[in-house]
Amino acid sequence: MDIKELTSLETSGKKTIQELTIAGIIFVFFIIPWIIPSFRVMDVLAKIMIFTIAVASFDLLLGYTGILSFAHGMFFGIGAYSIALILYHSDTPSGYHIFLAAGASIAISVVISLMISFFSLRVKAIFFAMLTLALAEFAHILGVQWSDLTGGADGISFTLPGIFNFGQTLGTLFNTQINGRLMVYYFILVIAVFLFTGMLRFIHSPLGRVLKAIRENEQRTIALGYKTFRYQTCSIVFSACIASLSGILFAMWLCYVNPDSVFHTAIMVNILLMVLIGGMGTLYGSLIGAGFFIVTENWLPGLLKSIAGLASDSVILANMADRWQLYFGILFVLVVIFFPKGVIGTFRVILDRRHQLHSS
Amino acid sequence: MKTDTLKFQTRNRPFQQYAGWIIGIGLFLLPLIQMDLTTYLTLTVAGISLGMLIFLIASGLTLIFGLMDVLNLAHAAFFAFGAYAGFTVLNLLNNAGWIDTASLAQSLFYLALALGAAGLAGGGLGILTEKIVIKRVYGNHLMQLLVTVGVSFVIVELLKMIWGVNDEVVPVPMGFQDAFIIFGVFIEYFRVVAIFLGITIFAILQYILKQTKLGIIVRAGVENQEIVKATGYNISWIFTLVFAAGSALAAIGGTMMAIFNQAVDPGMGNQFLIFALIVVIIGGLGSVTGSFVGAVIVGLSFNYVAFLWPKMALGVNFMIMAIILLIRPKGLFGKD
């Protein structure tokens, strides 16, 4: 935001540490399936990667452009459904179908996001939120009711082509089976790193800096001669495309889509919570947010149930354990009110303060 | 008051003012090409009553936004909460065996009980929400949107915790299951009640906003809390009460919709939120008249299209919204 941060980002010492951290994280994601050969761990890691991308692309909008869009989950769903439909309807699924799905979902996302920004961006940010919320609900209803295309509430399950086919085993290496699922895992890793780097490039590009300027003070940016509408549209379209690509990864990992798993508002709320935990306007925060959320989501219900199991007679306690999402909701509200900068944001504030103390 | 007179002065172009109405009414006669008059009238009555139910939801949303400048995305959750509150009252009455034998007058009384309970429960929840959460985020739209999404999530989860995740059948008082016939048009009593309630609430809101000082005080409070406090009004409680009133409206709408559909489920809020949002966008954010007109438009067009091409119904509402946004980006009655 201010010059200090920009210059501090460019200090080389910090940059090497950053690069090392990133390399370390990628290495951890790379190596863990070999160290801990548990499907559950791999599942959690894959979902963390997928949602990191979805959350980061959402953060491009919310944190870097200051636009709250509820249609982001919809683009996620569009990606997921485009690959599901293409693979489901093709008789012999092959590798190029994945690229076809990527192309199709990007095309649809571009058209829809252009329409959204055209209709609502000229008016008011709050309008944008409302319109996209209505649209997201519409997408969910469409997913359920247009059963000829989407298979209705039952959803679509499909098989992946070639080396990604889950049933296939290519051999074993260091006691780990190399099967289709592992290949999909690495595919997700590669694509996620690629997309994340793309987003980093995007926010550090001149375009990204203009977006930050719009977030800080739109009137002033207009006065400086920037056509803010165009820049905002750019960021909406770009983030919608990334979201739909992450939707493709999600569908590939599950090999199954249904309206509730990709179009439901709850997905959107989850993504929002992940952004908030990590910190708005910090792309790295999306990894922390997604990591925290997915890990908790996987182990919290079991934990709560075992706590409730201690007092097995209490129906209320069992109910309370059953509705573990409630605690996410409460956490959500608390984070927004008391912790609006998220983990990375707060960390940066502390660093800044320390920096100021040292320099003075 | 002053802004109203100003508006009329700038709007002294009678033809343009009425052209919209004429075109609009003409559009609503259009379905007559495809259906006979009786069907059309039946659908119209049904559409207006659906519109009134939607208005109940949208009015609370627009009231809170128009006065307090808060877009309450938890509105759908208040709506669902109200539906469950009304459902509980009706269930209790049903367990006492009073629902199945109710005459029309008794049915109205039971409805009033259910609506009263829903209104109180919704209002109470509104007070809690405002005091605990909303009051911390006045003036920051983004925070408001985020925090109300969170609140909505919490309330819906609480609903699931208390009443379970499944659909429940709502016992409808016997008197409302009857209908009467005028000119061959089949009209259920409940639809008449819905229309009456909608118009009453519209009138009350208009009276409060236009004829009392409340509207001015609240709007002044949004601009500058300190000054309003200095004039002797307890602005924070006024804010709380406005928020509670909006929530109570949502809850009343929830109970009405629960009886209308004869079912409640925890996710019902989101299904109708989409209607409320379309209505508020069409009518213009913060305008109660706009919500009223928008709700009638949405209710009517939904019913006509649902009769002619069932799968298109919601899509047509979106198209109407898009067209209106193209012509008037701030909605029909939005402030320029």
Nearest to A329 among B154, B277, B280 (CB): B154
Q: What number of CA atoms fall less than 13 Å from residue B187's CA on the CB side?
A: 20
Contacts of B236 (CB under 8 A, 6+ apart): B135, B225
Give the mean model confidence (pLDDT) for residues B106-116: 86
The reply to whether B288 touches chain A by the CB within 8 Å rule is no
Residues from chain A contacting residue B147 (CB–CB below 8 Å): 333, 336-337
Res B9: pLDDT: 47
Residues from chain A contacting residue B138 (CB–CB below 8 Å): none
Query: Environment class of residue A1 by beta-carbon count within 10 Å: exposed (0-12), middle (13-18) or buried (19+)?
Result: exposed
Res A145: pLDDT: 77
Q: pLDDT class for B4, splitting at 50, 70, 90?
A: very low
CA atoms of A163 and A169, how far apart (whole Å): 9
Give residue A242's Cα distance to chain centre.
9
Residues from chain B contacting residue A214 (CB–CB below 8 Å): none
For A307-353, give the secondary structure using H, E and C. Answer: HHHHCCCCHHHHHHHHCCHHHHHHHHHHHHHHCCCHHHHHHHHHHHH
Give the mean model confidence (pLDDT) for residues B120-148: 86
CA dihedral sign, ordered B119, B122, B125, B127: negative
Res B226: pLDDT: 80
Residue by residue, DSSP assigns A219-235 as: HHHHHTT--HHHHHHHH
User: Is the pLDDT confidence value at B5 over 50?
Assistant: no
Residue to substitute from B70, B130, B149, B312, interface A, most A β-carbons within 10 A: B149
Q: pLDDT class for B250, splitting at 50, 70, 90?
A: very high
Res B15: pLDDT: 61
Res B1: pLDDT: 42
Strand-pairing partners, residue A257, are: A156
DSSP one-letter code for B170: P
CA atoms of A78 and B333, how far apart (whole Å): 34
Q: Which two tokens stand for residue A19?
A: 């690069």
CA dihedral sign, ordered B240, A334, A120, A261: negative
- Asked whether the beta carbons of residue B137 and residue A336 sit closer than 8 angstroms, the reply is yes
The reply to whether A146 touches chain B by the CB within 8 Å rule is yes
* Highest mean pLDDT (candidates B28-37, B69-78, B120-129): B120-129
- The SS3 call for residue B38 is helix
The beta-carbon contacts of A98-102 under 8 Å, at least 24 apart in sequence, are A98/A161, A98/A248, A98/A252, A101/A248, A102/A245, A102/A248
User: Is the pLDDT confidence value at B11 over 90?
Assistant: no
Q: What ipTM was reported for this prediction?
A: 0.77
Do residues A263 and A136 make contact, with C-beta atoms less than 8 angstroms apart? yes
Residue of chain B nearest A336, judged by CA positions? B147
Q: What is the pLDDT of residues B277-306, one digit of tens each?
A: 888 888 887 788 888 989 998 888 888 888
Among the listed residues A306, A161, A25, A133, the one whose alpha carbon sits nearest the alpha carbon of residue B74: A133
The reply to whether B133 touches chain A by the CB within 8 Å rule is yes
In the predicted model, residues of chain A with pLDDT beneath 50 are 1-3, 6-8, 10
DSSP one-letter code for B101: T
- Asked whether the beta carbons of residue B151 and residue A68 sit closer than 8 angstroms, the reply is no
Residues from chain A contacting residue B321 (CB–CB below 8 Å): 134
- Asked whether the beta carbons of residue A329 and residue B157 sit closer than 8 angstroms, the reply is yes
User: What distance in Å separates residue B306's CA from the closest CA in chain A?
Assistant: 14
The reply to whether B271 touches chain A by the CB within 8 Å rule is yes
- Relative to beta strand A156-157, strand A256-257 is antiparallel
Res A166: pLDDT: 66
Q: pLDDT class for B119, splitting at 50, 70, 90?
A: very high
CA atoms of A162 and A160, how far apart (whole Å): 7
Q: pLDDT class for B251, splitting at 50, 70, 90?
A: very high
Residues from chain A contacting residue B157 (CB–CB below 8 Å): 323, 325-326, 329
Residue of chain B nearest A339, judged by CA positions? B143
The reply to whether B2 touches chain A by the CB within 8 Å rule is no
User: Is the pLDDT confidence value at B100 over 80?
Assistant: no
The reply to whether B160 touches chain A by the CB within 8 Å rule is yes
Q: pLDDT class for B139, splitting at 50, 70, 90?
A: confident
User: Is the pLDDT confidence value at B6 over 50?
Assistant: no
Res B200: pLDDT: 92
Nearest to B157 among A134, A276, A323 (CB): A323
Res A328: pLDDT: 82
Residues from chain B contacting residue A129 (CB–CB below 8 Å): 71, 73, 145
Nearest to B281 among A131, A138, A320 (CB): A131
User: What distance in Å separates residue A346's CA from the closest CA in chain B?
Assistant: 17
